[in-house]
Amino acid sequence: MTRPLPIGVLLSGSGTNLQAIIDAIERKELSATITVVISNRADAYGLERARQHGLPAVVISHKDFSSREAFEAELVNMLNTYGVTLVVLAGFMRLLSPFFIRAFPQRIMNIHPALLPAFPGTHAQRQALERGVRIAGATVHFVDEEMDHGPIIVQAAVPVYPDDTEDTLSARILVQEHRIYAHAIQLYAKGCLTIRGHSVVILDEPRAPTSTLHAPVQT
């Protein structure tokens, strides 16, 4: 059996994606070990989730550093101290510069609550509602030097309902986020992912059924 993949999770908030990853590891659906959870905010509930599971929970506040590079150098240092192979961004609300990204080439994943390349940036669910899309979703992708832009690994789609609010749509998308993040990390852990240009090739990729998500449903 191969060694579990050492991952480091970076977050700033409630950490429900962290929780989903912890749960997938505990269910043995994900062959990974979370060696450290880092937050730039001391009040992030994700840190509490980490502690409840006996995981090292570290605060590195960007406010304690005079420059972005100094902050990121400390992040890199901490991730390396904990032997992290894959950096998992899970609601980490700081932009990462090329300095950080080059420290972990093709070894940083992010999750975004939209079907990228649509609606990058903040308030993706609000953008989707304002644009009137019928189908929204979530994307796990490798991080490159542009925001919400790197090669796409896994996506999941959900319908948008006419009475949706930002909250109801976000909740529907979040359920899918929790499924696909662990899945994408497991594909990485198994060595199934190869980046070719701007695409990810998945080894022995099973085909999704050709059933259509049709919104609104035709009656």
- Choose among 14, 2, 21, 67: nearest CA to 39: 14
Q: Are 147 and 114 in contact (CB under 8 A)?
A: no
State the minimum distance, in angstroms, from the CB of residue 172 to ligand GRF: 11
Binding site for ligand GRF (CB under 6 A): 11, 13-17, 46, 90-91, 111-113, 174, 177
Residue whose CB is nearest to ligand GRF in the complex, by number: 91
| Residue 199 in tokens | 């695409």
State the minimum distance, in angstroms, from the CB of residue 29 to ligand GRF: 18
Q: Are 140 and 153 in contact (CB under 8 A)?
A: yes
Specify the residue, 73 or 157, whose C-beta has the smaller distance to ligand GRF.
Answer: 157
Q: Which residue shows structure tokens 């975004």? A: 112
- Choose among 143, 146, 179: nearest CA to 19: 179
State the minimum distance, in angstroms, from the CB of residue 126 to ligand GRF: 12
Active site residue 112: yes
Q: Are 175 and 19 in contact (CB under 8 A)?
A: no
Specify the residue, 59 or 73, whose C-beta has the smaller distance to ligand GRF.
Answer: 59
How would you classify the pairing of strands 57-59 and 199-202?
A: unpaired
State the minimum distance, in angstroms, from the CB of residue 20 to ligand GRF: 8
3-state secondary structure of 33: strand
Specify the residue, 48 or 205, whose C-beta has the smaller distance to ligand GRF.
Answer: 48
Q: Are 176 and 156 in contact (CB under 8 A)?
A: yes
Kindly list the distances between the CA atom of residue 21 and the CA atoms of 44, 83, 211, in Å, as whole numbers in the listed order.
Answer: 17, 18, 28
Specify the residue, 113 or 151, whose C-beta has the smaller distance to ligand GRF.
Answer: 113
Specify the residue, 73 or 147, whose C-beta has the smaller distance to ligand GRF.
Answer: 147
53, 112, 149, 214: which one is catalytic?
A: 112
Q: How many whole angstroms separate alpha carbon 21 and alpha carbon 31?
A: 10
Q: Which residue shows structure tokens 């609601």? A: 91
State the minimum distance, in angstroms, from the CB of residue 124 to ligand GRF: 8
Annotated active-site positions, please?
A: 112
